[in-house]
Structure 1
Amino acid sequence: MKSASNFRIAMPEQPAIATNQRRNLILDAVRRLSKTRSWVTQRDLLADLRGQGFDVQKHHVLRDLRALIGIHPELECHTDEDPSGRPRKGVEYGYRWVARDATPETGLSIPEALSLVLVSRYLKQALPATLSGALGKLFERAEATLNLQQKNGVANWSDMVGVVVPAQPMLPPKINPEVIQVVHRALIAGEQFRGVYRNINGEEGERVLHPLGLMVREPSLYLVAVCNGYEDPRIFALHRFSSVKREHLPATRPTGFSLAEYLERQGNFGSGEWILLKARVASKLGRILEETPLGPDQKLSESDCDGWRQLEVRVRDNWQLTLWLLGHCGQIYIVLPDRLREQICLRIESAQGG
């Protein structure tokens, strides 16, 4: 029995996807290669497709080119034929894309398809609603590109790359689709909106918000916005909005506001202030910190006679730091700041029922 990776065997299982996808890939290759050479040969196309990990044969390329020429007038073919229709003196047929304004629906390379699949899996909820809908077909084509050669080692990248969040896995909360639509449109248009919001204590009230940006912090999606009556930006969980309504009024933006700077300081909650952490760490944790430092100015001493090392580093005072310290109980002893050491001790006592 022949290998399933052979197109003659695989194509009957999904003929439309395989044929159309391969022809899109050929069009894309002709268009790309036409920018660097006068004519693109069948041999060039075969090398390009195989270089992307697709198992195709020369007769597939020739057959598809013949079909594509009849469909796309922008695809030009150069033939130096003799009366019998064969290339004269062994000269290969040449192809090129001659359109300047029109762009064909093209195929995707393996790296492009893999990138889109990862975006779809891990960042899709952060995309603007209008954009994620428009990208739906592109995401499907990316999946089809990888599935087309599922027996091929290169195309199996979608099953070889994953993202692990260094925290306890939690299911994402449900967000009202209308909330997502209105918030995204308000962000894009630079408009304020009115919404009914329930805080962490269960208190509900109506607010007028001036959106500044979105923050993805697994497993939730947050809105950074200025609320009427306040000047400082705040963070709102999108799943806590029960209703929203566009105001069609321009939103105000704090002078000099930078979303990147704000999230670097407040993205993990807490005060976000810089503190100097001094601690003693066990040898195992010390080796981990040598490989993955807490900051660029981290200092680690040599181990003492008991295997402990002195740690000194500037870090942000936030929830993430607290969780990290609690996760390494028994491996770290906080020397300074006193307030942080007392806070961690109280949490440990509380967890033990003390």
Structure 2
Amino acid sequence: MRADRLMAILLLLQHREQVTAAEVARELEISERTARRDLDALGMAGVPVYSMQGRGGGWRLVGGARTDLSGLTAGEARALFLVAGPASSVTPAVKAALRKLVHALPEPFRLQAEAAASSLVMDPQRWGSSRIEPRPPRFLDDLQDAVIRGVQVRLGYVDREGTETERTVHPLGIVAKGPSWYLVATTEAGRRTFRIDRVSAVDPTGDPVHRPEDFDLAESWRAIADEVDRKRTPLEAQAVCAPHGIGVLRMGFGSRLEVGGSRTDGRIEVVIRGNDEYILAGELAGLVEWIEVTGPPGVRDHLASIGNALVERYGQDQHGRRTAKRQPRSSGSTAPMNSGSGGRVQ
């Protein structure tokens, strides 16, 4: 991490013109001894830095050295801080180091770096069962640039019926959902989400984006994704589950599972969403050891039918003898279920 610290100190010197070892230590959360050692290392590496002793002293760059000694362009600074967004997969230590750097960036890099850090959300969970690898769409970079610079765009868009329209939008953020990319924007009709692979044209207007003060991209996307999930899986099955089976349900159904309160017998009320009564019954049929489905009647009827078919086919061995009743799994079992892979059927 020392190279990161030296870069941060260099940017601090550019931004503040003079720093003390105590200020560097406080900014980078290191000891003053380490800060002084790092400042000396900059000088030994050829950076024109010198120290001033006495009251009001500190460390300065020779002649102010206001050039961008870091070598970062505005675009490179933005790219760097894209990985420090709220939903990125980098480690907390890397996020913290990058966030410290933003306070030291010279203008005009700082505002765009801060915008870049909150412009993108990565949502790894795919819609449905698609296994297509993500391919950045044509206008992704243009739209992300508009988000970071905070400018409105005239957006050409082709809807699912093939109709092309044009509208002016206020870009608020970009979301990667599995292999698909989305633009979250404000329009005259309110907040809307656009699939970026359906965008046919992007023309920045230069007018500033009107961004709600309380807007949070990650929170907004969670609400959008929840609404889409509910539209894709409008059917709800009610059930009660043994406490040790909740983990199995979470593995199998993911966001399609809602866990409620406990009953007096210790079982927990749950709701599982799907889009077809028979298919949902098939997913639930392998969970009889953990859950009891209480509704709707159509799902229960399909479960009974599936159960009868299973008994008819597997209730006797090849010689016509009744097979032994299988013992239920122990309460500590967390073996994955066979039929309920949440997301296989949406």
TM-score between the two structures when normalised by the length of structure 1: 0.43
TM-score by length of 2: 0.44
